[in-house]
Amino acid sequence: MLYETEEAPISPPARPPPPRPPSLSADMPVVVKVHHTDSYTVAIRSKTGASLRDLTVMVANKFEMSEDVVTLWYKKEGDEDMTEITKDDDMREAWSTVREGQLTLWLKDRKDDKEGVSPMQFSKVVALHDYEASEPGDLGFMEGDVITIMSQVNEDWLEGRSRGNVGIFPASYVKPWDKPLPKEGISCA
């Protein structure tokens, strides 16, 4: 019991628990963004957990190509290297990379295997200047950011990935990235 001269201790109200991300159920539709090595991207709506075969058919239909020439790739969490999806186990792993209802894949035609992937594709560049994204689909970055090239849109524009974002940007704002430079004051001996 409190008397008039005593004050009850004040404690902050309890915070509600953070919202949980929705779990992906097989019924939940997902947008699958597919970047083609020929410099364009399409979005396909799919059910979560679709098999490699089902996605291959959808992608082949969307790109109007034979299923026999479709090869899908994805990036593992925290990895910049591409992983080819060759079996359903790989596809399940790719599904684990879904974020905010979106799965990002890359498409390479097997008919292009002799030529290989463009030498520029998946190489890295470093930003020479800040670039502010002014249109949806642009990739904004700061001077010094390292960007992974996904495709060359045309002579003046590239498509790339940086800090988890994908978009296009002026080719004149970047230069090839060889390796990180040592920080000032740190000896590389």
Domains in the chain with CATH codes: 29-112 (3.10.20.90), 124-176 (2.30.30.40)
Q: Could you read off the pLDDT of 131-181 as tens digits, one per residue?
A: 998 888 889 999 999 888 877 778 888 888 888 788 889 999 998 877 554
CA–CA distance, 160 with 119 (Å, rounded to integer): 14
Q: Could you read off the pLDDT of 48-60 as tens digits, one per residue?
A: 999 999 998 998 8
CA–CA distance, 162 with 117 (Å, rounded to integer): 20
Taking the complete model, does pTM exceed 0.85, yes or no? Answer: no
DSSP-derived secondary structure for 19-38: PPPPP--TTSEEEEEEEETT
